[in-house]
Amino acid sequence: MSETKSTCCYCGVGCGLIVEHDAGQITGVRGDPDHPANFGRLCTKGATLHLTVAPDTRSQRAHTPELRTDRTAARQPTDWATALDHVADRFAAIIKAHGPDAVAFYGSGQWLTEDYYVFNKLAKGLIGTNNLDTNSRLCMSSAVAGYKLSLGADAPPCSYTDIDATDCLFIAGSNTAFAHPIVFRRIEAAREANPDMKLVVVDPRRTDTAEAADLHLPLLPGTDIALFNAMLHVMLWEGWLNRDYIAAHTEGFDALKRLVREYTPAMAAAVCGVPKRDIEQAAEWFATRPATLSMYCQGLNQYASGTHKNAALINLHLATGQIGRPGAGPFSLTGQPNAMGGREVGALANLMSGHRDMSDPAHRAEVARLWGVPEVPATPGKPAVELFEALKNGEIKAVWIAATNPAQSLPDQAMVHAALEAAELVVVQDTYRHTETAAYADVLLPASGWGEKEGTVTNSERRISRTHAAVPPLGEARHDWEIACDFARRLGPRIGKGDLAYQLFGFDSVEAVWREHRESTRGRDLDITGLSYAKLDADGPQQWPFPDGASTGRARLYEDGVFPTPSGKARFVATDYVVTAESPSARYPLHLITGRLRDQWHSMTRTGLVPRLYNHEPEPQLHMHAEDLARRDLADGDIVRVRSRQGTVVLKVIASDTVRQGQSFLPMHWGGNTMAGTLGINALTPSATDPTSKQPELKHAAIQVEKLPAGHALMAMRRITDTNAFSVLEALRAQMKDLPYASLTLAGREVPVVVLKARADEANTALLDAVDAAMGLDDPAHTLVYADAHRDVAKRARVDDDILNAVRLSGETRAAAWLTELMVRGEPAAPVRPWLLAPLTQPPAGQPTRGKVVCNCFDVSEEAIVTAFHAGESLEQLQTRTQCGTNCGSCLPELKRLAARS
């Protein structure tokens, strides 16, 4: 067995890991004890990475290029030369006929820095269009715009070590416990070491992060600016401001002072829906604790007021001088593993390499000189949402999508799907082939993925880590940067730039790409000319800036109070609060909030392959307050139709005490692969964007909820020991598209159980036949059958060697939950055999149900934990007995909450 150091490809915490592999197969992962982001820890997602590349998942990988020249036909496997020549022909023809802005690239914060660099140069340098945007537009663009507006440059000034040094941690719009778990482990450790440290959490929902807080401000969605302005009002009134800092290092305070005069705590209490004294308490701690660190993420960024939400929070740091010191500063948590790299490379439609400014002719000339091209285009390209709108209306004719799944993750999915339908050419470059977007690809290009890639990534704290390939790319997959170079050299001659293309894209290694990027940072705020691959390998990950001659990177920026603005001073931004793009109304009375689950990553292309990652939240569910359910005559577990102004989804509703009355929550992860229809949950979200950052308001919509009229219920489960679970999923997906309701997920641990829940308008023999075939229930010799034609009830089950391996219930599905549980556990079926096809809601005596799995590492369920607490066991005793929460720690916040409540 061999080991290779690399990084986790999920969140922006940027944990280092050690990949274990044997004969070209990755067999395990563990945290890298030497990596300064995680010191050996991994969360549930990082710790299961090897399972996303297990042998049985290979059927889901893109192996070979695929091509179709006829839209109505299926793609056929082809070779790289044919695929790339075809795309080059089409791109060249479109560019000649309609100009370079008729093509576009849509990339990803999951690219390595080198991948971004080459694609950026391809679009902006060779083709001459700024139509290159990425999913970071949905993620960090308001943070970028906020930093630039307030501080003059896009540079998060803090480090993870500031968590240990702070006296007040102010978390706004971030569910750190779920979305940046290893940062949350550090927060827990820091609070243990310093019990005086205050934790304030600003989030409409009572998340696990909020549950841990000393003070939770459950404000109404979108109202953060009113809260921050009121906190400043209190600070002013109480004399808690740092007048010296304001005078020496900032400008624009007077305008802000005038503005916040009207933001009294009473006014903000009414706007935000939180008690006045909590606003005063938050202001006091923020201003008067020796060091205050804020952490924020999509609860600020993903609003049409996202840039100003960021700036309003940074105002508080500037007014109190809580910046540029240990434990103090505004710390935007990056979402994706390398969104930071994309910012450095300038891989957004309005950015340029090395934090240069597209509107500055001198900066454009510098980039043109670096690349060796006559000029780079001056007009910003189309940001994500506009890019897809332009595709829909024909202004953009061809799109190249890489390492992102826009047919699930963008807002207003009806528009996005129509755009992909309307495009003349869709190229999709992905590691996996089952994404919602790949369904629209005319050309599918197989990319290497996690564990196969060589290069660099930058995490939230500006720290650059090396990724190393543990195994070669699967099949004919190639690295993203290589695909871009090969394509550029094919396109060049076709658009009269043959020699140039060879000059620009002659990189002979990934390191050659990186060295060119490094040169683009010389003399800039993010200067990394003192680094090399060799140095990063020898000395470990380093923070930027790290200029030539430096011995270390910089842990903290702005310690001297000098900011990269024309005056050298930071800027206060006076901004009023604005309501959400969509306010609740009589027709759409509920706030809908979207966000993340602990164990799923985005559109689930990878985490969705791992059965145990469904155990914490098993299926698409709308979370609602019990009173709101009661008012609508809804019960926990009902199937509901959710409508917004944009669209409709149908899913299960559950009662939850994490949302306030009048609000609801939907995880962002569920798309057309897991639900009926093709659009997923972003059918509901509006395409309204922030005017500065162009980031869409993905966090919020206004909705109505009503019970789905009863139809014909269907439920089918298959325990997979004899075939590939993913081929079963694929067969079922084809069946569920047109159903009024469907949920298609996995359950289990080592042995996956495929779970289909659905409603049809009426009993449907063709559907049942197809489901039975997929579930292995079509062999009469091995199938128990029950049918009551009179009541339209028909059931089947299959037991092999006393193990229940498949069930299908049609017309009456009461026993579904305990049957699924029996299959997950793989326990003998004999004791319950007479009842397998009976209409029993509860299992016959003696079969406990166990509910959701809280600790995924040691497979400990909520039921078991609550039972133990009720029996008087302490948290420590429980942990000694079951080990729950002692490995990755992702479930610790929940364990503590369950302990506190019993």
Ligand X SMILES: Nc1nc2c(c(=O)[nH]1)N[C@H]1C(S)=C(S)[C@@H](COP(=O)(O)OP(=O)(O)OC[C@H]3O[C@@H](n4cnc5c(=O)[nH]c(N)nc54)[C@H](O)[C@@H]3O)O[C@H]1N2
Judged by the rule CB under 5 A, the positions of this chain that interact with Mo ion are 139, 335
Q: Output the residue with the shortest Cβ distance to ligand X.
A: 335
Give the CA dihedral 625, 216, 272, 703, nearest 10 degrees: -30
Q: How far is the CB of 640 from Mo ion (least distance, A)?
A: 27
Is-cis flag, bond preceding 844, omega within 30? no
Piece in contact with ligand SF4 (CB under 6 A), picked from 39-47, 201-209, 779-787, 865-873: 39-47
Given ligand X, ligand SF4, Mo ion, none, residue 823, with its beta carbon under 5 to 8 Å by kind, binds none
Of the pair 110, 810, the CB lying nearest ligand X is at 110
- In the bound complex, what is the minimum distance in angstroms from residue 50's beta carbon to ligand SF4? 13
- Give min distance, CB of 90 to ligand SF4, in A: 37
Q: Which of 5, 6, 13, 527 touches ligand SF4 (CB under 6 A)? A: 13
The strand order across the sheet containing 168-172 reads 215-217, 198-202, 168-172, 292-296, 329-332
- The nearer residue to ligand X, 665 or 869, going by C-beta atoms, is 665
What is the enclosing helix (H) or strand (E) of 652? strand 648-655
Q: Which is nearer to Mo ion, 139 or 855 (CB)?
A: 139
Would you tell me how many other CB atoms lie within 10 Å of the CB of residue 498?
Answer: 14
Q: Does 604 bind ligand SF4 (CB under 6 A)?
A: no
| CA distances in angstroms from 83 to 1, 106, 613, listed in the order given | 37, 19, 35
Determine the residue type at 829: A
Supply the minimum distance, in Å, between the C-beta of residue 9 and ligand SF4.
8
b/e 142-179 (16+ beta carbons within 10 angstroms → b): bbbbbbbbbbbbbbbbbbbbbbbbbbbbbbbbbbbbbb
732 is a site residue for ligand SF4 (CB under 6 A): no
**Among ligand X, Mo ion, ligand SF4, none, what binds residue 404 when CB lies within 5 to 8 Å by partner kind?**
ligand X
- Does position 837 interact with ligand SF4 (CB under 6 A)? The reply is no
How far apart, in whole angstroms, are the C-alpha atoms of residue 47 and residue 31? 8
Element (H, E) at 25: strand 25-31
How many residues in the chain? 902
Between 150 and 600, name the residue whose CB sits nearer to ligand X: 600
Residue 400, both tokens = 């190249």
CA 235/CA 91 separation, integer angstroms: 57
User: In a 3-state reduction of DSSP, which class is residue 775?
Assistant: helix
Residue whose tokens read 């989030």: 203
Which of residues 6, 19, 36, 46 is near ligand SF4 by CB under 6 A? 46
Site string for ligand SF4, 163-202 (x = CB under 6 A): -----------------xxx--------------------
Instruction: Closer to ligand SF4 by CB, 453 or 497: give it.
Output: 453
- Contact window for ligand SF4 (CB under 6 A) among 41-49, 161-169, 321-329, 545-553: 41-49
Q: Is residue 10 part of the contact set for ligand SF4 (CB under 6 A)?
A: yes
Nearer to ligand X, 208 or 527 (CB): 208
- Closest approach, Cβ 13 to ligand SF4, in A, equals 4
C-beta of 322 vs 409, nearer to Mo ion: 409
605 binds, among ligand SF4, ligand X, Mo ion, none (CB under 5 to 8 A by kind): ligand X
Instruction: Figure out which of the listed residues 18, 29, 43, 860 binds ligand SF4, where binding follows CB under 6 A.
Output: 43
| Helices marked H in 251-335 | 253-260, 265-272, 276-288, 298-301, 306-320
Q: How far is residue 432's CA from residue 435's CA, in Å, rounded to a whole number?
A: 7
Q: Which is nearer to ligand X, 302 or 810 (CB)?
A: 302
Q: What gap in Å lies between CA 31 and CA 182, rounded to an integer?
A: 11
| Binding flag, residue 610, ligand SF4 (CB under 6 A) | no
Kindly state whether residue 340 participates in binding ligand SF4, applying the rule CB under 6 A.
no
Residue 518's φ and ψ, nearest 5 degrees, are -55, -45
Pairing state between β 712-719 and 752-760:
antiparallel
- The site partner of 15 among ligand SF4, Mo ion, ligand X, none (C-beta below 5 to 8 Å per kind) is ligand SF4
Give, for 704, the enclosing helix (H) or strand (E): strand 700-707
C-alpha 684/C-alpha 670 separation (Å) is: 12
Rounded distance between C-alpha atoms, residue 155 and residue 555, angstroms = 12
Q: Give me the half-sphere count of Cα atoms (radius 13 Å) on the Cβ side of residue 843.
A: 17
**Minimal distance in Å, beta carbon 295 to ligand X?**
9
CB of 144 to Mo ion, least distance (A): 13
Burial environment of residue 552 by CB neighbours within 10 A (0 to 12, 13 to 18, 19 or more): exposed
747 strand-pairing partners: 753
Structure tokens at 686: 């509006």
CB of 203 to Mo ion, least distance (A): 17
Nearer to ligand X, 231 or 715 (CB): 231
Phi, psi of 878 (to 5 degrees): -60, -45
Which lies closer to Mo ion via its Cβ, residue 241 or residue 597?
597
**Nearest residue (beta carbon) to ligand SF4:** 46
> Is position 45 an interface residue for ligand SF4 (rule: CB under 6 A)?
yes
Q: Out of 11, 168, 574, 659, which residue is the one contacting ligand SF4 (CB under 6 A)?
A: 11
Residue 714 main-chain phi, psi, to 5 deg:
-140, 140
CB nearer to ligand SF4: pick between 113 and 129: 113
Helix, strand, or coil (residue 875)? helix
| x-or-dash string of contact with ligand SF4, 763-802, rule CB under 6 A | ----------------------------------------
By CB under 6 A, residue 728 contacts ligand SF4: no
Interface residue list for ligand X (CB under 6 A)? 11, 45, 108-110, 135, 138-139, 172-175, 178-180, 202-205, 207, 221-222, 224, 297-299, 302, 335-336, 402-406, 408-409, 429-432, 435, 447, 449, 453, 480, 593-596, 598, 600-603, 605, 668, 682, 685, 698-699
| Of residues 11 and 19, the one with the C-beta less far from Mo ion | 11
- Distance (Å, rounded) from C-alpha 184 to C-alpha 794? 49
Min separation Cβ 607 and ligand X, Å: 8
- Give yes or no for a contact between 57 and 65, defined as CB atoms under 8 angstroms apart: no
User: What angle is formed at CA 256 by the lines to CA 701 and CA 558, rounded to 5 degrees?
Assistant: 90
CB 112 within 8 Å of CB 338: yes
Are 131 and 381 in contact, with CB atoms under 8 Å apart?
yes
- Between 432 and 558, name the residue whose CB sits nearer to ligand X: 432
**Residue 603 contact partner, candidates Mo ion, ligand SF4, ligand X, none, CB within 5 to 8 A by sort of partner:** ligand X
Please identify the residue of the shown chain whose CB is closest to the bound Mo ion.
335
**Residue among 91 and 160 whose Cβ is closer to ligand SF4:** 160
Which is nearer to ligand SF4, 16 or 411 (by Cβ)? 16
Applying CB under 6 A, among 6, 29, 36, 38 the residue interacting with ligand SF4 is: 38
Choice from 5, 8, 108, 484 touching ligand SF4 (CB under 6 A): 8
Determine, following the binding rule CB under 6 A, whether residue 42 of this chain makes contact with ligand SF4. yes
Give residues with Cβ within 8 angstroms of 879, minimum separation 6: 885, 886
Q: Rounded CA gap, 877 and 894, in Å?
A: 16
Dihedral sign for Cα atoms in the order 223, 229, 235, 238: negative
8 Å CB contact between 400 and 133: no
Residue 898 interacts with, from Mo ion, ligand X, ligand SF4, none (CB under 5-8 Å by kind): none
Q: How far is the CB of 456 from ligand X (least distance, A)?
A: 13
Of 15 and 531, the one with the shorter C-beta distance to ligand SF4 is 15
> How many whole angstroms separate alpha carbon 716 and alpha carbon 744?
10
DSSP label of 545: P
Instruction: List residues binding ligand SF4 (CB under 6 A).
Output: 8, 10-11, 13-15, 38, 42-43, 45-46, 180-182
